[in-house]
Amino acid sequence: ILKEIPLQDVRNFCFIAHVDHGKSSLSSRILELTGNQGPEAQALAWKIAQGLAAGDAPVNPDAANREKIELLDSLAVEQQRGITVKASTATMLYQHDSAVGPRGTLLLNMYDTPGHVDFGREVIRSLCFVQGAVLLLDATQGIQAQTWSVYEKAQSLPHPPEILLALTKIDLENARPVHVALTACDWLNWDDPDTIIPTSARNRVGIQQVLDAVCAKVPSPTPIDDDNDTLRAQVVDSWYDSRGVNCLVQIVSGEMKESDRISIVGDNMAQALSYSVQEIGLLLPKACRTGTLQRGQMGYCRFGLRDPRQAMPGTMLILNKDCNKQLLLPSIPKETETRSVLYASVHPQDVSGFDDLCNAVNRLALNDTGLEVQKTSSVGGGEGGGPFLGPGLRVGFQGLLHVEVFQQRLQDEFGIEAIVTPPKVPYTITYLANKRSNLEESYTEVVEDLRNWPEPGVKVKIMEPIVDVRIIARVEDAGGVMDLVQRKRGTELRTKPIDEEKWLFTARVPWAEVAIDFHDQLKNITAGYGSLDTSEADPPLAEGALSKVDIMLNGEVVEPLAFVCHRDNAQGEARKVAQKLQGVLPRQQFVTAIQAKADGKIIASERIKAFRKDVLTKSGKTVGGGDQTRKMKLLEKQKKGKKRMQDSGKVKLSQAAFNSVISRAS
């Protein structure tokens, strides 16, 4: 049947929305309706759909008939957190009147995308391979920050997909579908609110209507200009499993078969290594081996790659014999390229576990191409951790949630409790020409590792990354939100009412302030109702009066605990970090002195008292009787021993110590 479906009967679409607006739940119901979950589930879904069309009351599902979001959210961290981390896809067959082929059947390729801003590039990548996108709006919450963001991303593409609107969770008691639909029409410039489809994944309401709208309104893929049946397959995604690297590909032209010799090529069409195609199939979302993929189809293939980064999204696969031909190769926007915005060092709890940590992180990097991994030195006090943490890995992330997901996956999949230092943002520093420092000409460098921060007294110009922040919150939370933006050094703060209950806040805020705990504080201020979205500002950098704050334990600098903040806030934040460290660092047999230093001066200090043994009592009796000299000798001996331990002993750092730096503004 697949061979009889023409390109005109192919529909590529995705679901986009804010976090927790029901993308995975609705996707699972569509898989149920199209038969991808088995004939019994399909028969039940059609029976309920026909009953709803006839005016029957919605069926209240029991636990056995709940949405099976684990079909698409297969990672343990996705199921535990209830969020989508990585975009997933599924291919379906669906009979519809719009089909022009002899079978009257459409081939549907569906994407379920993440909703969190940290994984926004997954959304952009998915939008590049579809001709339609269903934008979901929670009927209880309405437009949120990411709703607007993903809508703008879709509209900004060179070939924007056809947008459909749907309301989710209309069965909840506090749902306001009419109000949300009218607000969406106003803010998204939507013409007709009657075209917004009301749905409830839990009660299976509106599932068939969404599917029929996709079939009728989403256009089929456009054939490539020089379509001459020459194989051109574009890589959509790649991942690693126990059998090796899998590539999700979209066949632009021609046909791919098992045992074909293919090559990975770029724009220059240079001769490349050839690989033998070992296995081909469709994702339903479970893998179903078919042995061939034709034009318009999307499926997986295995051909002996060892690293998914050899076939990044947008890469083209062609037959090896066609490498010297001049072929038109489609491309995807540069925005889909992964770029780290936060950097942190990762260390094992015990130095002996460093090799295991390296192997685990390398395995994770095979499935998460957003990670940038490199080893750090254990010598000195740099990002390697020095004597406090030992050797580690320097890792680039897409955001703070990405850091948390990475840490949880290490624990879930490999049983490794790693220590992740506070994430740091890159700074652009210009060293100014100065006769005293014998610098004749100014030069600029990007500092991602704080051990490369300029020494006090050196004349520099520091530029920090800036982001545009978009916040949607309730009217009663307006004062708290504006105060938060001001405390985070936000500028150009603007407000605009969305409706009688919610306001939109926009501002320019330093990325370092957002990356620390901005989202957590926003949730606390708004009782969980506020939503946040960020995007790169224009211009992306701004000059700042910044200082690096070093944390010292017993006079020794612990570089992984260092942080950068505004010069006026350095003392206050340093005191908070010192006080929090005093509460989380373990008590030792010696005094632990915690000091914070900025611009060459000590600006905060705390002490952790040592455990003390009563050396004046032995076997319940006082040593020396009434001889004061004997007592003083014992106390002096104990004092010298404590001093030696303080000089040679080391404080063990835990994850709680680094969390003290992350939450210093709380």
pLDDT in tens, 316-350: 898 888 887 777 787 776 655 656 777 888 888 77
What's the rounded Cα separation, in Å, for the pair 32 and 48?
Answer: 12
Q: Which residues pair with 235 in a beta bridge?
A: 249
- CATH of 340-420 given 1.20.1560.10, 3.30.2090.10, 3.30.70.870, 3.30.70.260: 3.30.70.870
Query: Band of the pLDDT at 74, cuts 50, 70, 90?
Result: low
Question: What is the reported pLDDT for 609?
Answer: 83
SS3 287: strand
What's the rounded Cα separation, in Å, for the pair 611 and 41?
Answer: 65
Q: Is the pLDDT of residue 377 over 80?
A: no
Query: Band of the pLDDT at 394, cuts 50, 70, 90?
Result: confident
SS3 4: helix
- Count of alpha carbons within 13 Å of 401, Cβ hemisphere only? 19
Residue 438: count of CB within 10 angstroms of its CB:
7
- CATH of 232-335 given 3.40.1390.20, 3.40.50.2300, 2.40.30.10, 3.20.20.300: 2.40.30.10
Query: Band of the pLDDT at 272, cuts 50, 70, 90?
Result: low
Token pair for 216:
């009728």
What's the rounded Cα separation, in Å, for the pair 397 and 83?
Answer: 18
Average pLDDT over residues 373-381: 54
Locate CATH 2.40.30.10 in the chain.
232-335
Give the residue with greater pLDDT, 110 vs 314.
110
SS3 360: helix
The CA–CA distances, whole Å, from 272 to 249, 303, 317, 323, 389 equal: 18, 14, 10, 8, 43
Q: What is the pTM of this model?
A: 0.78
pLDDT digits (tens, 9 = 90+) for 499-533: 888 899 999 999 988 887 788 888 889 888 888 88
pLDDT digits (tens, 9 = 90+) for 612-661: 666 566 655 566 666 677 777 766 776 666 565 554 456 667 777 777 77
Q: Which helix (H) or strand (E) holds 93?
A: strand 88-95
Could you tell me how many helices (H) and strands (E) the chain has, helices first?
15, 33
Out of 226-240, 379-393, 441-455, least confident range:
379-393
What's the rounded Cα separation, in Å, for the pair 656 and 653?
Answer: 8
Q: Is 339 left (phi over 0), alpha (psi -120 to 50) or beta?
A: beta
C-beta of residue 283 within 8 angstroms of C-beta of residue 248 = yes
Question: What is the reported pLDDT for 62?
Answer: 53
Residue that the structure tokens 């017993």 belong to: 554
Give the residue with greater pLDDT, 282 vs 273.
282
Per-position b or e across 284-317, b if 16+ CB within 10 A of its CB: bbebeebebbbbbbbbbbbbebeebeebbbbbbb
Question: What is the reported pLDDT for 133?
Answer: 94
Q: For domain 2-217, which architecture applies?
A: 3-Layer(aba) Sandwich (3.40)
Backbone angles phi, psi at 393, to 5 degrees: -120, 135
DSSP state, 200? Answer: B
C-beta of residue 261 within 8 angstroms of C-beta of residue 275 = yes
Select from 512, 303, 364, 335 the least CA-distant residue to 428. Answer: 512
Q: Report strand pairing: 502-510 vs 460-474.
A: antiparallel
Residue 583: count of CB within 10 angstroms of its CB:
10
DSSP state, 142? Answer: B
In the chain the first and final C-alpha atoms are separated, in Å, by 60
What's the rounded Cα separation, in Å, for the pair 200 and 137?
Answer: 11
What's the rounded Cα separation, in Å, for the pair 243 and 222?
Answer: 34
Distance of CA 73 to the CA centre of its chain: 15
CA dihedral 201→205→208→213, nearest 10 degrees, is -90
Average pLDDT over residues 380-395: 61
Q: Which helix (H) or strand (E) holds 639?
A: helix 628-648
Q: Is the pLDDT of residue 307 over 80?
A: no
Most confident range (mean pLDDT) of 179-193, 238-252, 423-437 is 179-193
Locate CATH 3.30.70.870 in the chain.
340-420
Token pair for 155:
């509209």
C-beta of residue 122 within 8 angstroms of C-beta of residue 87 = yes
Question: What is the reported pLDDT for 626?
Answer: 65
Average pLDDT over residues 13-36: 87
What's the rounded Cα separation, in Å, for the pair 27 and 36?
Answer: 11
Question: What is the reported pLDDT for 612?
Answer: 63
- The residues near 618 (Cβ < 8 Å, ≥ 6 apart) are none
C-beta of residue 341 within 8 angstroms of C-beta of residue 397 = yes
CATH class of 547-662: alpha beta
What's the burial of 378, exposed, middle or buried (CB within 10 Å: 0-12/13-18/19+)?
middle
The CA–CA distances, whole Å, from 111 to 23, 69, 93, 543, 567 equal: 10, 13, 15, 41, 46
C-beta of residue 9 within 8 angstroms of C-beta of residue 100 = yes
Out of 242-256, 520-534, 596-610, 641-655, least confident range:
641-655
- The residues near 145 (Cβ < 8 Å, ≥ 6 apart) are 18, 470, 471, 472, 531, 532, 533
What's the rounded Cα separation, in Å, for the pair 485 and 524?
Answer: 14
Q: Report strand pairing: 10-16 vs 105-112.
A: parallel
The DSSP code sequence of 144-163 is: -HHHHHHHHHHHHSSSPPEE
CATH T-level assignment (fold) for domain 427-544: Alpha-Beta Plaits (3.30.70)
Question: What is the reported pLDDT for 269?
Answer: 46
Average pLDDT over residues 471-495: 92
DSSP state, 656? Answer: H
Residue 585: count of CB within 10 angstroms of its CB:
20
Question: What is the reported pLDDT for 81?
Answer: 65
Question: What is the reported pLDDT for 468?
Answer: 92
Give the residue with greater pLDDT, 257 vs 516.
257
Give the residue with greater pLDDT, 535 vs 251.
251
What's the rounded Cα separation, in Å, for the pair 533 and 144?
Answer: 9
Orientation angle between helical segments 207-217 and 23-33, nearest 10 degrees: 80
What's the rounded Cα separation, in Å, for the pair 375 and 355?
Answer: 11
Q: Is the pLDDT of residue 371 over 90?
A: no
Q: Which helix (H) or strand (E) holds 374?
A: strand 372-376
Residue 156: count of CB within 10 angstroms of its CB:
12
Residue 539: count of CB within 10 angstroms of its CB:
9
Give the residue with greater pLDDT, 489 vs 515.
489
SS3 286: coil
Out of 94-103, 140-149, 222-231, 632-641, least confident range:
632-641
pLDDT digits (tens, 9 = 90+) for 559-595: 888 888 899 988 988 898 888 888 888 877 777 888 9
Q: Which helix (H) or strand (E) holds 408?
A: helix 400-414
Q: Is the pLDDT of residue 66 over 70?
A: no
Locate CATH 3.30.70.240 in the chain.
427-544
Question: What is the reported pLDDT for 577?
Answer: 87
Locate CATH 3.40.50.300 in the chain.
2-217
Query: Band of the pLDDT at 170, cuts 50, 70, 90?
Result: very high
Q: Is the pLDDT of residue 295 over 60?
A: yes
Question: What is the reported pLDDT for 169?
Answer: 92
Query: Band of the pLDDT at 664, cuts 50, 70, 90?
Result: low
Orientation angle between helical segments 570-584 and 655-662, nearest 10 degrees: 160
Question: What is the reported pLDDT for 501?
Answer: 85
